[in-house]
Amino acid sequence: MTKYIFVTGGVTSSLGKGIISASLAKLLQARGLSATIQKFDPYINVDPGTLNPYEHGECYVTDDGAETDLDLGYYERFLNVPTSQANNVTTGRIYQTVIQKERKGDYLGKTVQVIPHITDEIKRRMMLLGQSGEFNVVITELGGTVGDIESLPYLEAVRQMKWDVGSDNCLVIHLTLLPYLEAAKELKTKPTQHSVKQLQNAGIQPDLLVCRTDHDITMDIRRKVALFCNVDVSSVIEAKTAKTVYDVPLLMLEEQLDRVVINKLRIMDKKEPDLKQWKRFLKQLKNPTHKIKIGLIGKYIELKDAYKSIYESFILAGAKNECYVEVIPVQSDYIDKNNVKNKLEGLDGILVAPGFGDRGFEGKINAVQFARENSIPFFGICLGMQTAVIEFARNVLHLQDANSTEMDKKTAHPIIHLMKEQETITKKGGTMRLGKYPCQIKKESKAYQIYKKEMIEERHRHRFEFNNDYKSQLEEAGMICSGIYPDKNLVEIIEIPKHPWFIAAQFHPEYKSTVENPHPLFVSFIKACMKYSR
């Protein structure tokens, strides 16, 4: 029987439900259980693919091409198990399914209502991964905060789930905040009491409370929270603000979160968690022997979350190299020919980020040119690759107005153009080239030395592509196309062999970097930056 764990949030948003869920899943996995995590988001977009990064941070992409919440990135980085379309569900998706069923006449003349039709669809999706038989434990993170109007159908579904599968098979963890009042020199429990009351009003008694705090929680406070929130003292878990999110699994281990969970769910296998590999990673992370500075050139840099997986990939690949990577975000909007040297001088490497639209594009071109001409390690991702090819066409092939048709529809040299199958697409949602595709790597290339294999699979999210009409010109001038999607002959990786490290990819390696397997391109790029810095 699959066990279901629900994680709700109270008092404020941003308490880190995703990290707590991923940490608990990690501990259960380390005990030999197979666990997965899914996120239910209460907004009406069918998926976050159409959301501006400023609204919602990065859009994370799965192997099967789902555009998802960035928390799924943490699930994969922690567990090293791929997620899928089923791991992220939104209110929009739920309603879309129910309305489509209604239009087909599946409800046989009944009035379609939030209860039971919407809640039934929520429950069906809550159990989908559990029913696959692949997982002992399914952790479901509920987005939003208890008390929000849009969360109500989800809470009702959780209440019913507890009843449907029985309390031995289902539990609710409530993540809450204990604020510290400087004047009183005290942690306050009242907001937590109120937020648990909200849950109780919805018919849910939480089984465990994970309390975010900046100070130690004394036994007195634990008892007080337990008494007023109706849980046992051992179910009050302290989650003190950690130095890095990667410390959280060990902090949760110390607090015995996993032990309380398996006892409550009557999971009989009491094997102690094996976290050797995780601890080794933390040791490397915390004892760097090198430090480098890498410029992240993008147009959403004011919001770190917009490039979450890239930042995390630097941390993971940095640890592998025992190197602390300081990422310097550079707003591409403000890089021009005159200030580029000033802005990028002193960096040990330059990464041009993915992106959409023409804002900041010319700044990215200037950054690529600076990296190429000064032999600074350069890594381009998605739009970063497209920029690198255009820069080369403009400044090496002297095709002055080379461009992408995304930026200039009428350019005389459409070095990057819309993919054939994209030409007739008018709808924006879920219509890009999404998810994993195979890529064949040329043997005589740096990419081959890095991946050490000929066939790889990487994840995509784009509409535009390299225009093969320009391939031979570019190759004659010293750029090679080292990765190709064989079915459609699409260029996926380019390199400049004469440059110490100049690689760009049409896919997103950052989505596949995990604690266990930091992405080889990031590992190699950091190595090159370390060499450059010496």
Outline where DSSP puts E strands in 200-304.
Answer: 208-213, 236-240, 290-298
CB of residue 187 vs ligand GLN: minimum separation in angstroms? 43
Tell me how far, at minimum, the Cβ of 490 lies from ligand GLN, in Å. 11
Task: Choose between 193 and 422: whose C-beta lies nearer to ligand GLN.
Answer: 422
Q: Which residues contact 96 (CB under 8 A, 6 or more apart)?
A: 46
Closest approach of ligand GLN to the CB of residue 81, in Å: 24
Nearer to ligand GLN, 75 or 356 (CB): 356
Which helix (H) or strand (E) segment holds residue 369: the answer is helix 361-373
- Each as own residue / partner, the long-range contacts of residues 47-54 (CB below 8 Å, 24 or more positions apart, any chain) are 47/88, 47/90, 47/92, 47/93, 47/429, 47/430, 48/90, 49/428, 49/429, 49/430, 49/432, 50/428, 50/429, 53/300, 53/303, 53/305, 53/306, 54/300, 54/302, 54/303, 54/306
Considering the complex, what minimum distance in angstroms separates the CB of residue 304 from ligand GLN?
18
- Residue of 413, 462, 510, 529 marked active site: 510
Return residues touching ligand GLN (CB under 6 A): 354-356, 382-383, 406, 461-464
Instruction: Assess whether 55 carries a catalytic annotation.
Output: no
**Does the active-site annotation cover 516?**
no
Catalytic residue among 323, 382, 439, 481: 382
Q: By C-beta, is 93 or 460 nearer to ligand GLN?
A: 460
* Helix H or strand E segment including 4: strand 3-9
413, 462, 499, 508: the catalytic one is 508
- Edge to edge, what strands does the sheet with 502-505 contain? 323-331, 290-298, 349-352, 378-381, 502-505, 490-495, 480-485, 433-441, 455-462
Task: Please say which residue, 17 or 459, places its beta carbon nearer to ligand GLN.
Answer: 459
Taking the least distance from each CB to ligand GLN, the nearer of 427 and 453 is 427
Residue 245 CB, shortest distance to ligand GLN, in Å, is: 24
Please enumerate, as own/partner, the contacts of 216-219 that have beta carbons within 8 Å and a separation of 24 or more. Answer: 216/240, 217/178, 217/187
> Torsion angle, CA of 371/403/482/434, rounded to 10 degrees?
110
Instruction: Count Cα neighbours of 494 within 13 Å in the Cβ-side half-sphere.
Output: 32
What is the length of the chain? 534
Whether residue 439 lies in the annotated active site:
no
Angle subtended by helix axes 17-30 and 71-79, to nearest 10 = 20
The separation between CA 23 and the C-alpha centre of its own chain, rounded to angstroms, equals 15
Helix (H, G, I), strand (E, B) or coil at 368: helix
Distance CA 68, CA 58 (A): 9
Least CB distance from residue 462 to ligand GLN, whole Å? Answer: 3
Q: Which is nearer to ligand GLN, 266 or 359 (CB)?
A: 359
In the bound complex, what is the minimum distance in angstroms from residue 387's beta carbon to ligand GLN? 9
Active site residue ranges:
382, 508, 510
